[in-house]
Amino acid sequence: MPQPRSQLYQDKTDRIEYLKTLTEFSTMNGSMMTAPVAPVKGSTKKSKKPTMGSDSILTFLDHPEKPSPVLYLNCGTHSLTKADILTLLPPAPGPGFQGESTLLLGAEVSGTEAAADMYRFKLTRSRDPDTLIPWVGYFLEFATREAAAKFYTAALGQRLRGTGGLVRLTFVDPGKRGARPPRLYEVPGVTRAMCALVAGLPPKLSPVSVERALMGFDLLEDKKEAIVKLAGDAYASESLWLIRFKSEAGPKRLRRQFHRRPWPLINAIPSVEIID
């Protein structure tokens, strides 16, 4: 059974208090954590109360791996949207915004501008770098590492609806191949949403045949960049193609016209996926 909302926030607050305790009584030296220095006998000086600010959280997260602006969400569900991810956060900040973000992340995020940065992220699916076939999990790309750390903290102890388990987030290298497959970024000006993945065509189909079938579509001018065969040789049962367009409208039209529908001139019913 899901925990009551009040208990959930209390558990998250306790976790943050633990993180702050580690950062106050530990010193960081590169990726090594040194033991705390014993207090001087007879000293009556009280230790400084740790702050709830993101600085202490980031200090802890610097060990053993420095946080980056990219989080990896380990999740087997293949139909998540950004709206699903946003359910992990308190209501989005607005005029006079106050609420649980202040409790969980400290006073420095209680203002509208400071709190809003963790809501501004780009959600992309993890994909095989070569074939672009979806892998398990998603990547959340933030503008700054501080925004990623705030989101990470806010999601502690949460359950993502539809997955049945606790949220599992990991800081990853922004250049990780699963997050940014080179094929999707090798043509300047072409975004992921301007690309489509077509599977289920015959293995011996040529790029010229694909081009003829897509006459009237707004493909890139350079056909070698517009139509790329990713997989499928003469011994395979089918082939896989990356199709690049001049705008985001192209992949949407291709999917409407040919997803699970007959491909022109041949006996094939492919699947068409817009790259996300």
Annotate 47-109 with DSSP letters as a single string.
PPPPP-SHHHHHHHHTSSS---SEEEE----S---HHHHHTTSPSPP-TT--SHHHHHH-GGG
The H or E element that residue 223 is part of is helix 223-226
Global pTM reads 0.67
Same domain, 163 and 202: no
In a domain, 181, yes or no: no
pLDDT tier at 146, thresholds 50, 70, 90 = confident
Q: What is the pLDDT of residue 145?
A: 85
pLDDT tens, residue by residue, 44-78 = 444 343 333 445 555 545 544 556 889 999 887 77
Q: Does residue 194 share a domain with residue 162?
A: no
**94 and 128: one domain?**
yes
Q: Are 53 and 23 in contact (CB under 8 A)?
A: no
Query: pLDDT tens, 184-222?
Result: 989 999 999 999 999 999 998 999 999 999 999 999 999
- In this structure, are 104 and 231 located in the same domain? no
> 18 lies in which domain range?
5-28+52-172
Say whether both 17 and 131 belong to one domain: yes
Q: Are residues 125 and 213 in the same domain?
A: no
In a domain, 69, yes or no: yes
Q: Are residues 150 and 232 in the same domain?
A: no
Residue 133 belongs to a domain? yes
User: DSSP characters for 148-173?
Assistant: HHHHHHHTTT-B-TTT-SB--EEEE-
User: Which strand (E) or helix (H) includes residue 22?
Assistant: helix 5-24
Is residue 97 domain-shared with residue 133, that is, in the same domain? yes
The answer to whether residue 24 is domain-embedded is yes
16 with 142, same domain?
yes
Number of domains in the chain: 2
Q: Is residue 141 part of a domain?
A: yes
CATH at 135: 3.30.70.330
199, 165: one domain: no
Q: Are residues 159 and 242 in the same domain?
A: no
